[in-house]
Structure 1
Amino acid sequence: MENGSVSAVLKNFSGGRDDLIPILQDVQNTEGYLSEDSIRLISRKLKISENYIFGVATFYAQFRFHPPGEHSIHICLGTACHVKGGEQISSYIEHRLGISKGETTSDGKFELNHVACLGCCALAPVVKIDDTIHSQMSVLKIRKVMDEHYESE
């Protein structure tokens, strides 16, 4: 992250401790994630430790500490999706991409996340790739969808 980007965000805040979460949100919205450098600059501005900031940021699922992938894959593991094979689909994707949940492939193309519910339980199991919901998935179906994504890359 560029120091200028963080500095520009920090200028919008008075520097009180209660500014921490809005600052983290703005920095992430600007840069896509929270880098070590950005946390260091926020620490100096707010006069609180980097460890404290990291502790707050890791408490909330919305914050990330690495650049996002070009394509995001969200696997639903809510009750309906779990019962209908969500874990097997997740295992296949993790194996195929060589990453675990919360990680991004080394080429930066895909990031993998688990979610508690995507709100379409009647279509379980579901996988969301970017803004597209893929319903009634199986390992065979997700293999085909991923083959199509790899071909289009």
Structure 2
Amino acid sequence: MQITHIKQEINFTDALMARINELLSHYPADKKKSALLPVLHEVQDAHDNWLSIALQDKVAEILEIKPVEVYEVVTFYTMYNQKPIGKYMFEFCRTSCCAIRGAEDLMEYTCEKLGIKEGETTPDGMFTVVGVECLGACGYAPMLQIGDYYREHLTKEKMDELIEECKAGKIDLHNQDHYTE
């Protein structure tokens, strides 16, 4: 097995450090590790939505913990990305309710349409497709998460529309108005 390490620019701006310090202020000084998840979110958001090993090492340094303690968390949770991802990451729920309602077929359809396999990113860096565990919206199956928002009751037609909206730049990952059914 070959492991490729991709270089990532590490940039802890004053604003990012201020946010990390604000998060740390919610925990006792000797319990910095308690802030690990929210700190990882902030750091990932500030670094193109992924966490290189060097970036994880820097988080460990800031929290005064061993790097392996960060690696364990990053490799366990699917919300942390260990490699560059597309501008739009389609995270298909594939647990029971969504699977029964055809999520696997929709994910396969989407991958075929984009010319990639699950876990891959399109050559233009626009899309990544992954399967994830339960997203907690079983009543809306099949569904996916894009950014911080859900798209629910999916069909092939709805996937076609979503892909076209993304290509046209109509999807603002920071504006929930675009993520209603």
Cα offset, 1:144, TM superposition? 3.6
Moved more, 108-117 or 123-132: 123-132
- Does 2:69 match 1:52? yes
> Any conservation in 2 of the 1:99–1:105 contact (CA below 8 Å)?
no
- Report the CA distance shift for 1:76/1:60 in structure 2 as closer, same or farther (over 3 A): closer
Deviations 1:12-45 (A, max 9, x none): 2568444433432321233232222211222334
Q: Which letter maps to 1:52?
A: E
State the partner residue of 1:81. 98
Alpha-carbon RMSD across the aligned residues, in angstroms, is: 3.5
Q: Which letter maps to 2:109?
A: Y
Moved more, 111-120 or 77-86: 111-120
State the partner residue of 1:8. 17
User: Any stretches of 5+ residues in structure 1 without a counterpart?
Assistant: none
State the partner residue of 2:178. none
- Does 2:104 match 1:104? no
Q: Which letter maps to 2:12?
A: G
* Larger RCO (CA within 8 A; separation ≥ 6): 1
Distance 2:150 2:35 in 1: 35
- Does 2:131 match 1:114? yes
- Does 2:26 match 1:26? no
User: Any stretches of 5+ residues in structure 2 without a counterpart?
Assistant: 1-8, 170-181
Moved more, 14-23 or 69-78: 14-23
Paired residues in the alignment total 149
> Any conservation in 1 of the 2:90–2:130 contact (CA below 8 Å)?
yes
**Aligned pairs for 1:34-45 within 5 A:** 34-45=51-62
Q: Among residues 67, 70, 91, which one is paired with 2:87 in the alignment?
A: 70
Cα offset, 1:108, TM superposition? 1.6
Distance 1:150 1:10 in 2: 30
Distance 2:35 2:135 in 1: 30
Distance 2:118 2:36 in 1: 29
Distance 2:166 2:19 in 1: 39
Identity among equivalent pairs (%)? 23
- Report the CA distance shift for 1:117/1:151 in structure 2 as closer, same or farther (over 3 A): closer
> SS of the residue aligned with 1:61?
coil
> Any conservation in 1 of the 2:87–2:125 contact (CA below 8 Å)?
yes
Q: Among residues 117, 133, 141, which one is paired with 2:151 in the alignment?
A: 133
> Any conservation in 1 of the 2:93–2:103 contact (CA below 8 Å)?
yes
